[in-house]
Amino acid sequence: MHLLAGAAGSEEVGQDTEIEQWNATVDAFDVEGLADQLQDFGAGYYCITIGQNSGHYCSPNETYDRLTGITPSKLSRRDLVSDVADAMAKRGIKTMVYIPAGAPGHDEVAMEKLEWEWGFKGKWPDAWPDGWQDPKDPGRTGKRLVEFQLKWESILREWSVRWGKKVSGWWVDGCYFGDEMYRHPDPPNFQSFAAAMKAGNPESIVAFNPGVYTPVITMTEYEDYTAGEISEEFPVCPGPTLGNAQYHILSYLGKTWRSGEPRFVDEFVLGYTKDLISKGGVMTWDVPFTNTGLVAEPFRKQFKQLKSL
């Protein structure tokens, strides 16, 4: 679930969200009701965004507040991730979290204080060039950003240590500059980035998302499963692993991420998921939700049918 500070499917307005409004959104999240739903659906795990581009996160972090100097803090009072994990654990469901690889792209203060630079010419998202997946694209100006990486790792380490074994995995978005930022023998690199997220639970799993690639790729030996972001083209699963990583696909059931009516007939959702898991793969579906964090009505039927697989 993409719990973000902004309109469904976007964080464009999230940058102007007042902190009390954000706290109200986080406080309204019904973790017990959601956990009951997921238990009824037969889900084995659940993944929630800690935050994305607005600078609003659904868990407090003293390191983030100290490094950015933003007051009042744009982070929620409630540690929603911890509360979610407690509710899920009572029902035997694992909790995973989503976090971007960079500082919040709509918060100029946070970007400056954390020393983050967008790796394409111009500002996000206007500078998103055609063919951005090509590492030789002339629009790429990615840098190693050592200072940023050290700060970001310290922020993620605080969350990981606090949550401990409550969190079983991390999905890291926006790792578009793998060669420039992480593919180095000395830290900061992929290894140190993964270690920061595993500081509180060495058994947790990590995936780094390079963007939408079909077929799916694995970025590094230090990821435990493929990020597998898919939008329009759904690949055939080659087997349970890709390199050293568990084969995994992530896509959305709505019109886009976290919003819209179902875009697939039930038969496709069931058929593709069944084929994937029959070959040893793992399927994650992003789903729209209500103002209290419950799975939206049009999608409940699809999840109940998936329980039979």
CATH for 41: 3.20.20.80
Number of domains in the chain: 1
Q: Are 200 and 169 in contact (CB under 8 A)?
A: no
pLDDT at residue 118, as a whole number = 81
Q: Does the residue 114 lie in any domain?
A: yes
pLDDT at residue 129, as a whole number = 45
Distances in Å between the alpha carbon of 198 and those of 162, 192, 218, 220? Answer: 11, 10, 19, 16
Q: Does the residue 180 lie in any domain?
A: yes
Q: Does the residue 8 lie in any domain?
A: no
Pairing of strands 205-208, 241-242: unpaired
pLDDT at residue 147, as a whole number = 98
Cα 76 to Cα 7: distance, rounded to the nearest angstrom? 18
Q: Are 242 and 208 in contact (CB under 8 A)?
A: no
Q: Does the residue 272 lie in any domain?
A: yes
Q: pLDDT 10s per residue in the chain (309 long)?
A: 999 997 544 455 455 678 999 999 999 999 999 999 999 999 999 999 999 999 999 999 999 999 999 999 999 999 999 999 999 999 999 999 999 999 999 999 999 999 999 876 555 555 554 444 454 555 566 799 999 999 999 999 999 999 999 999 999 999 999 999 999 999 999 999 999 999 999 999 999 999 999 999 999 999 999 999 999 999 999 999 999 999 999 999 999 999 999 999 999 999 999 999 999 999 999 999 999 999 999 999 999 999 988
Q: Are 224 and 205 in contact (CB under 8 A)?
A: yes
pLDDT at residue 180, as a whole number = 92
Kindly state the helix (H) or strand (E) to which residue 248 belongs, with its residue range. strand 248-252
Q: Does the residue 178 lie in any domain?
A: yes
pLDDT at residue 130, as a whole number = 47
Quote the tokens at residue 98.
């989503």
Residue span of the structural domain in which 74 resides: 14-306
Q: Does the residue 3 lie in any domain?
A: no
pLDDT at residue 6, as a whole number = 73
pLDDT at residue 124, as a whole number = 52
Q: Does the residue 94 lie in any domain?
A: yes
* Amino acid identity at 51: G
